[in-house]
Amino acid sequence: MAYYVYLLASRRDGPLYLGVTNDLIRRIYEHRTKAVRGFTSKYNITRVVWFEIYDDPISAISREKELKKWKREDPID
């Protein structure tokens, strides 16, 4: 079974959402239809901008935690 770490965005420079799932298509559908109330439905975060595939859930969760420590850099003018 595959596990996915994925990143969603609402728009350029807008809010981001980072998650883990074992069914990427179902999970994206849930975000787009706002099936679950929460952060993504509140801020209309529905665009998939990136994902990675892992063979086991431990690796996927570890990668998600690693990425959540990153900070978004301010653009250089």
pLDDT tens-digit readout, 8-59: 999 988 999 999 999 999 999 999 999 989 999 999 999 999 999 999 999 9
pLDDT higher for 22 or 76? 22
Q: What is the pTM of this model?
A: 0.87
How many other CB atoms sit within 10 Å of the CB of residue 7? 17
In angstroms, the CA 7 to CA 24 distance is 11
What are phi and psi for residue 71, nearest 5 degrees? Answer: -115, 145
Burial of residue 33, with CB atoms counted within 10 A of its CB: 0-12 exposed, 13-18 middle, 19 or more buried: exposed
Contacts of 45 (CB under 8 A, 6+ apart): 8, 9, 10, 14, 15, 16, 17, 31, 39
